[in-house]
A and B are shown apart, each in its own frame.
Chain A
Amino acid sequence: MPVSLEDVDHIARLARLGLTDEERTALRGELESILGYVEQLAKLDTGGVEPTASMRDDSTPTRPDRTSNDDDAEKLVERAPDRQGTYLRVPKIIEASE
């Protein structure tokens, strides 16, 4: 299945990846071969087979609705690159309207 460089750029932008020209070309080849493999699989007749959602034949486990946090923002926030008090601090987000 052909993958264009524009496809690579689009996916890289969604994933916030900055790629060099060599990486773009290499990834284009890799993506084509992955999709080619999936195309092969798609040729199989799976009409009577239910889609596999998980390798385990089980429902997702649950936990009781009880609080267990220790209200210690400090020890988590101190791992962030930047902070102000116990807030995390990030470069300005611009939410402009036109």
Chain B
Amino acid sequence: MTTGRSTAVPSRAPAGSAERIWRVRGEADVPPALAALAPDTDTDADGDEAGPASTVTMTMTQALNQALRDAMAADERVLVLGEDVGRLGGVFRVTDGLLAAFGERRCLDTPLAEAGIVGFAVGLAMYGLRPVVELQFDAFAYPAFEQVVSHVAKLGARTAGRLRPAMVLRIPYGGGVGAVEHHSDSSEAYYAHTAGLKVVTPATVADAYSLLRDAIDDPDPVVFLEPKRLYWTRSPVDLPARAEPLGRAALRRAGRDVTVVTYGATVPVALEAAEAAAGRGWDVEVVDLRSIVPFDDGTVVASVRRTGRCVVLHEAQGFAGVGAEIAARVQERCFHSLAAPVLRVTGWDVPYPAPKLEHHHQPGVARILAAFERLQWDDEPDTRWLDPPGGRTS
């Protein structure tokens, strides 16, 4: 030291973001339509006493919290970081109690800067840590897009595997919770289109736990999309629930007539539609992808070849969405088994609408049943596209 200057930097509180914490729904607000996968048989309180292989009833947020807790206890390289993850426990309380249990180096409140958070986490991962980043909301993850696409996704390939950033980006996504704008995007297509990322999303409480544990253990970077409107679903689960390796779809309902391929928040919607369709004589099979990347062609193809009909369902807008990829893959692989075109049921191609309109945007049972009707049950061709809106281009 030759300049004799003071080098002290004042300590400062972590940047807060109170204005971005909108309301967190209470459990009483859970839409009854979600009951299909989450029978509320809860008799005890929370999942906090979850021991090995014990059955407890918990919400999806509690399952995610337990997964983080168990992963952090199992591996000291695992740490969580993001905005408000520390003292607040996350705006959805997914990181509740982790600061107290593991200390600040394992549960780190960061400045409010998403590119910085992800870039910083890349550096942590380069040094061998296993960061689990919370990006507070779907649309607030966009500032980090360059870091995700150009670095998180590519670093392993750029360095012949020498610097593969094993990290998880947790992103609450999707609508259905009455949120103000920029809090309801379904952004999975951006990530699924980016080679080098894995993209998973749970639809059940048990999967929330097991998929997050798998994502944290995975050697590749994983975008872990948490469907906000399923956060408060409750279900009994056996912990630690560790199911299949990451990348396997799950058959949620067996049926003979039509396969619905979906993931995340629309899995319960598909099951509800399947019940309604049963009354009309259609026996519906529901495939929950769980993992968008890697994509489980085997489970999807086997199902569609059995049923001969396929409807792809998601909440995100349809154009150039994940459903387009699924429909193309099914058509390529199942053409000779198909009795009808593969149809997509999705949100409209609009920016996510205002809260009072969102139920008109989200695909529900009626939109799904309307698609079922068009599956050429009587061998009648679907005439819907013969006179498309906007007229013909002569």
A and B interact physically? no
Give the interface of B toward A (CB within 8 A).
none
Give the interface of A toward B (CB within 8 A).
none
